[in-house]
A and B are shown apart, each in its own frame.
Chain A
Amino acid sequence: MLDGPIKILVPTGSLGAGASEAEVRYGIAQGAHAIATDAGSTDSGAAYLALGMSKNNRGSVKRDLTLLMREAAAARIPLIVGSSGQAGGDRNVDWTRDIVVEVAAELGIRPRIALIYCEMEKATLKTFNADGKVQPLPPLGALEDATIDACDHIVAVMGAEPYIAALAAGADIILGGRTTDTAVLASYALWKGAPAGPAWHAAKVAECGGQCAVNRLEGAGVLISIGENGFEVEPLALSNRCSPDSVSAHMLYENSNPFLLTEPGGILDVTDAVYRQVSDRSVNVTGSIWRPQPYTVKLEGAGSRRFQTIMLIGIQDPLVLDKVDVFHDRMLAALYDRVHKTIGAAAGDFHISLRMYGWNAVSGERPPPGTPAPREIGVLFVATADSQEMASQIAKACNPYFFHFPIALDEELPSYGFAFTPADIDRGPVYEFLLNHVVELEDPMALARTKWIDLSEGGKA
């Protein structure tokens, strides 16, 4: 039995997004037992895992960490960060570690820091695969070793267990690698013996901070209080409030199924959850169910197999704008022809696309007949090839056609608006997620590696 509700302060939807000092102090004054936040997601694409790079700038992450580390230390409560450095790869964790160590020195505090890594060696994954422990999730099929080899970095998305172990071992600050957002926020309450259904559901509601409140633009964080029979959630900004609709609607967000959420070791089922307004600003939720399942962790793997070079022009010529689709088709055919004639077979399996911004670039779909001509369009040229050098050569071959392609054959060659010299920009590799698979684990800790930096003893790891 709990002595009382376990209160978790979730200061922001993502570390570096901008936690608020007033909100954090309010949450601590309400008796928060821990501060927990995730620091990343796959949403912004595979580059951050492949490159070990943060999406947020260092300054904004350091600003949030300075605030959170100072307030957590003063209140003597743990600070739990998951999916460090956006992608939660080992280098993303280390990037965050360096900031935390720097901030600790600046604040004059001496926390015990647990670093929980979850990158996976290709050989390890191949062994799991050979043992039949890897299952695909739709739309992907069975995992091939060649796909594993194509990944630059692979993470096994952690559940709550490695965090619980670090808390039990006395961590003041946890910097975790890639973890489900919910596991990061649920870990402290689960460690303290809170029931799993409310703990996981509260964590899901709070994963984007204040987004589960009525006014999504007001305030950054929320406080979740998890008890024996359910949980309560309130925004940390006093001017904002949660409503049953705002809280229940959050289960919809970025989630393909609004009732079931698969986590390592179980499924959160909110089909029968009941949402009630219990004060002006708080909502109580009961009826959340945790259904234990065999322990699986999801894999994320990022790799790059192809390279791109881009060019951009702006067009205001009304003759072109009257026939954007015709212009697009003729130019694209001319560019392919140009590459075949000037580079030939050496160009390999290349791809060119022209995205007509101001017309149909986002969908690529033809606007219906009779759509009024735009006033101006931007045309983005994207060449993709097997090497950066070849993508660049293809762009250079296309350059004169792309910048001067006439809509009428009898007119003098036009020049479209371009802003840079050189006009072609090597964009680098095309980073893609190559895995959508789960690994079955007998031991939830099997793929997590915890290292300690114990500043309380003046030492380093």
Chain B
Amino acid sequence: MPSVKDVCRHVRSKNAGPFWVTFDLFFDGPENFQAYHDHPALGPDLFQRLFGADPALVRHYPVPSLHMVKISHARTSPQGGVVERDMHCGQQFVRLLDVELG
């Protein structure tokens, strides 16, 4: 069963304004993009489980020309709050790398 890091050449995360975080998954070629960009394991439930996100505020945007999917969700705590640990959300992608796409 491949994981995200097996089928992507690059994965990154970044704040998108103070209230959202966005993940970019660049797949390793068109076949992997086709096979996995809308995989259920990358659905809203994943972001609820890993980050506590409200599933209704998880958005998927496939970009076929770049073989990538952008996934954005509302942060559970706004940037810079009491429990902030990653102001730019730049390390959040790491938790996606081992997600299995069975």
Measured CB to CB, the residues of A under 8 A from B are 42-47, 137-140, 245, 248-249, 252-259, 306, 308, 351, 353, 355, 361-365, 384, 430-433, 436
Q: Are A255 and B88 in contact (CB under 8 A)?
A: no
What DSSP secondary structure best describes chain A's contact surface? loop
Q: Are A139 and B66 in contact (CB under 8 A)?
A: no
Summed over the interface, the residue pairs from A and B with CB atoms below 8 Å come to a total of 96
Q: A248-B66, A257-B61, A355-B85 are in contact. List 18 more A-B contacts (CB 8 A).
A: A45-B79, A45-B80, A47-B80, A137-B19, A138-B19, A254-B14, A254-B22, A256-B20, A256-B22, A257-B59, A257-B72, A351-B82, A351-B83, A384-B82, A430-B80, A432-B79, A436-B17, A436-B19
A45 to B77, CA, bound (A): 13
Q: Are B63 and A432 in contact (CB under 8 A)?
A: no
Collect the chain B residues with CB atoms within 8 Å of residue A256's CB: 16-17, 20, 22, 59, 70, 72
Q: Are A139 and B85 in contact (CB under 8 A)?
A: no
> Is residue B7 within 8 Å, beta carbon to beta carbon, of the partner chain?
no
Collect the chain B residues with CB atoms within 8 Å of residue A353's CB: 83
Q: Are A433 and B65 in contact (CB under 8 A)?
A: no
Q: Are B85 and A364 in contact (CB under 8 A)?
A: yes
Task: Determine the residue in chain B with the shortest Cβ distance to A259.
Answer: B61
A433-B78 contact given A44-B87, A257-B72, CB 8 Å threshold: yes
Give min CB distance, A250 to chain B, whole Å: 11
Render B78-97 as a binary contact track against A, CB cut-off 8 A, 1 for contact.
Answer: 11111101111001101100
A140 to B17, CA, bound (A): 13
Task: Determine the residue in chain B with the shortest Cβ distance to A433.
Answer: B18
> Is residue B28 within 8 Å, beta carbon to beta carbon, of the partner chain?
no
Task: Determine the residue in chain B with the shortest Cβ distance to A368.
Answer: B98
Q: Are A139 and B19 in contact (CB under 8 A)?
A: yes
Q: Are A43 and B15 in contact (CB under 8 A)?
A: yes
Q: Are A43 and B88 in contact (CB under 8 A)?
A: yes
Please indicate which of the listed interface residues B15, B18, B24 has the most CB atoms of chain A within 10 Å of its own CB.
B18
Render B59-79 as a binary contact track against A, CB cut-off 8 A, 1 for contact.
Answer: 101010110101010110011
**Between-chain CB contacts (< 8 Å), 23 pairs:** A42-B18, A45-B79, A46-B79, A47-B80, A138-B57, A139-B19, A139-B54, A140-B19, A248-B66, A252-B63, A252-B68, A255-B16, A256-B16, A256-B70, A257-B70, A259-B61, A259-B63, A361-B85, A363-B94, A432-B79, A432-B80, A433-B78, A436-B18
